[in-house]
Structure 1
């Protein structure tokens, strides 16, 4: 028996076939998430993504001896991007990428019209150019004819699910990122919809994460060779779906989901709607498991930083793992010498995340000399990524009154021992690295299969643990307080955000 889990990521889309009950990854179809770039703006090509997903489903169906054994398809994706469709189900372009900053003016409009405090207490998130409402308003202002043709809109995973079922839906976790969802009542916020002149008839149906929406359409069944009884579900926001594969515990564990971006996810029994979290721009959300809530803060750059630095150093991206291994050996054997050469590297390549979120924040490097090597710069950049996470973790522990001794890591970081050891030493936490191939897709599969009764229990995943070294921990804490934080605050003052 099998389940297919689709993960539409910012960089790549993965269509994974898992064999139950062990959730063994049998096959994977992977392709770049189609995007177009023009004049500093990024659009997602939803039709091309669907075309490639459909082809991947055909390929997987052909690779299974008996396609009737594929029982479910579930879809997770990045949040905030909205796909508009007309009455015939055709995509109305543009589909603005979640990170595209063109909607800054609309974010200010939302904040000024509804009120920042009232908005946060209602939706659990701040007005920001990333959020879905700002994209809908930009399209309303700038693409009026296209906007008027809209029959329905939904999030990216909901779009794929709609092509599979004919039903336009989204789950609570993705609705939580729209600025249009009442986080307390778990319904669309009618007053927000009315305030901004939107039509509730165009909104997707709200569904439970991982629960069956419908069976696959007959036309898709015939085209792919899949059974017409295949159940379709939305497993939600990618970071949240991925956490299922780790068995994340409330309050005492935090998930570090790494990819193009990097985020910290903390689970609780209720949303945290205090002014402290609002000021830090920490997002509340509805979790993919019923009656639980999330605190989530993200860094705009993580894995993308390694691509950038490879280009900046005129290196191949394939060189970076070997460099990191060499740095790790020196880090463990001659730490004092490395600290003497360490720079402050504030990695705001695409702006900054909490505690001071800004889409215009810039990179800062201090401390380089004519003796600085490529290894020194790479080491300092990775440490900078960890210092950024440390600030965010400190906010969680202070204002959510949680002691978080363990951090669970999924994504590309688990293949980088230097990055993981630096996380342990800088964040002063045990780091449990989940070496799960396609953790988001696997978590989505586990969620959907368990919710719909395909399995009774979920298998435990193997981990590798990295523990803090007390001597390095103290030296890095001193560096953080004496150099990193003062220059971080100075930079923010210079950029007008202090």
Structure 2
């Protein structure tokens, strides 16, 4: 039996999945870890801990399934976007990775965007810098940690580090590199004019490959740590958003995906390199040359519900929260939640934005807080859905993925707030499956990504239609939701100056 291995390095856990070439899943293993928030606005993780967790997860998967490592024809990778992994000449991290929710680089973001505007690079980068993007974090290192910066030999994105530990090859690929903002997204190569204008040596950026390229083979050392067979081909893979799209079968224009993970994204594949001139959204490279993805990104999706679960309600698991939700009517009886716990990207691009509940009275209980958080997350995603429409991108059907595809409360809420039918696939770990499909295509098992998706991905028969009564109510509350930020923007800015 020929098998494919997909590895997804997420923000809260690493997952490894084994499937056969027809998409039948043999098993999945997972290990969780935390974000280190040692200072206000900081978000870091240890690359060494990523690798240790990934190695244990792969070994556990092989043990649990009893699969022969020699039957694995290819390994593919997916990973959290934007983070900075800075390595010395020996390939060791010089400091913890600065990951995407990090907000420390506000001043560096302004510097990058000023240079980009002066050099008229918008049509190439197709993105404006944001806090948490690798280039902004690298500039922060340059200005605040000169000794560590001087030791940097190469930088990579998070999942690139796992590939390096598997193969010994330091490289990035276009989907993830385009999320660094140091990249010519139109031309699928590093933006050396921008890099050099910021007084950064271009040599610290690694070679940039394509998602379907074979980056190398599992080394003897990596085989010893993971249980994989030495010489197994490792295909580059891509960013988690790109791999989730593949795992959902979205490899041609026409569908919109709504992903609720730690962060949230609404995204569409496009065949023309369009971008939002107001910089409220991002455009990144997609799975092959001539394809891009335009998306709105929210920093506080599953993260907001996790915050409520752990820091407020101290609930045992998310299923308890979903059960609580089911006992509260749509609209949370007037409670609104602004979910900007870590600032926000789309549509505000405002690291100073903050979270809060509004409309609470003595009658409201903890169940209302849970439902308000769920609804607030989806309201924020609707901001992105509406911006796609402004770009002329039709969004008649939505495929939900991530944690937001795992419970009917999330799915019906998305259908009602978006006002569109919401579908799910039979695949439950979309990023892992996408990485496995890319691996299978890269090593020649599938003749194309489309063929791989046709064999491995299928829609669930059940889908969720908008409830007209709920839709009208949500339209009203969505208007109030948008006003919450607008009316408090100045207050948020003044608040963060003193906190």
Q: Same fold (TM over 0.5)?
A: yes
Task: Tell me the distance in 1 between the aligned counterparts of 2:392 and 2:366.
Answer: 40
Equivalent position of 1:96 in the other structure: 98
Equivalent position of 1:477 in the other structure: 475
* 2:237 counterpart of 1:243: no
Equivalent position of 1:168 in the other structure: 170
Partner SS, residue 495 of structure 1: helix
Which of the residues 440, 451, 468 maps onto 1:449? 440
Partner SS, residue 471 of structure 2: helix
Displacement of 1:207: 0.8
Displacement of 1:56: 3.4
* 2:193 counterpart of 1:201: no
Equivalent position of 2:497 in the other structure: none
Which of the residues 355, 364, 367 maps onto 1:375? 367
Tell me which moved more, 27-36 or 457-466.
Answer: 27-36
Deviations 1:134-183 (A, max 9, x none): 11111222222222222222111111111222211111000101111111
Q: Give the number of the structure with larger relative contact order, counting CA–CA contacts within 8 Å between residues 6 or more apart.
A: 2
Name structure 2 gaps, 5 residues minimum: 495-499
> Residue 81 of structure 1 contacts residue 95 of structure 1 at CA under 8 Å; is this kept in 2?
yes
Question: Which aligned pairs between 1:26-425 and structure 2 lie closer than 5 A?
Answer: 26-33=26-33, 35-40=35-40, 41-62=42-63, 64-115=66-117, 118-221=120-223, 224-248=226-250, 250-273=252-275, 277-311=276-310, 313-318=312-317, 320-325=318-323, 327-328=325-326, 331=329, 341-398=333-390, 400-425=391-416
Name structure 1 gaps, 5 residues minimum: none
> Residue 280 of structure 1 contacts residue 356 of structure 1 at CA under 8 Å; is this kept in 2?
no
1:130 to 1:119, Cα distance in 2 relative to 1, 3 A: farther
Task: Tell me the distance in 1 between the aligned counterparts of 2:21 and 2:300.
Answer: 35
Equivalent position of 1:440 in the other structure: 431
Tell me which moved more, 263-272 or 109-118.
Answer: 109-118
Displacement of 1:386: 1.8
Partner SS, residue 97 of structure 2: coil
Partner SS, residue 466 of structure 1: coil
Task: Tell me the distance in 2 between the aligned counterparts of 1:326 and 1:103.
Answer: 38
Displacement of 1:292: 0.6
1:158 to 1:323, Cα distance in 2 relative to 1, 3 A: closer
Task: Tell me the distance in 2 between the aligned counterparts of 1:480 and 1:33.
Answer: 34
Displacement of 1:316: 0.8
Tell me which moved more, 382-391 or 403-412.
Answer: 382-391
Partner SS, residue 37 of structure 1: coil
Deviations 1:349-381 (A, max 9, x none): 211232212111112322111111222222222
Deviations 1:32-91 (A, max 9, x none): 246433223332111122123233344445554532111212221111112222222222
Task: Tell me the distance in 2 between the aligned counterparts of 1:36 and 1:496.
Answer: 25
Scaled by the length of structure 2, the TM-score of the pair is 0.90
Task: Tell me the distance in 1 between the aligned counterparts of 2:124 and 2:401.
Answer: 31
Displacement of 1:112: 2.4
Two-structure CA RMSD over aligned residues (Å): 2.3
Deviations 1:429-473 (A, max 9, x none): 100123533221111111221232123533232423100122222
> Residue 92 of structure 1 contacts residue 150 of structure 1 at CA under 8 Å; is this kept in 2?
yes
1:137 to 1:496, Cα distance in 2 relative to 1, 3 A: closer
Task: Tell me the distance in 1 between the aligned counterparts of 2:214 and 2:89.
Answer: 24
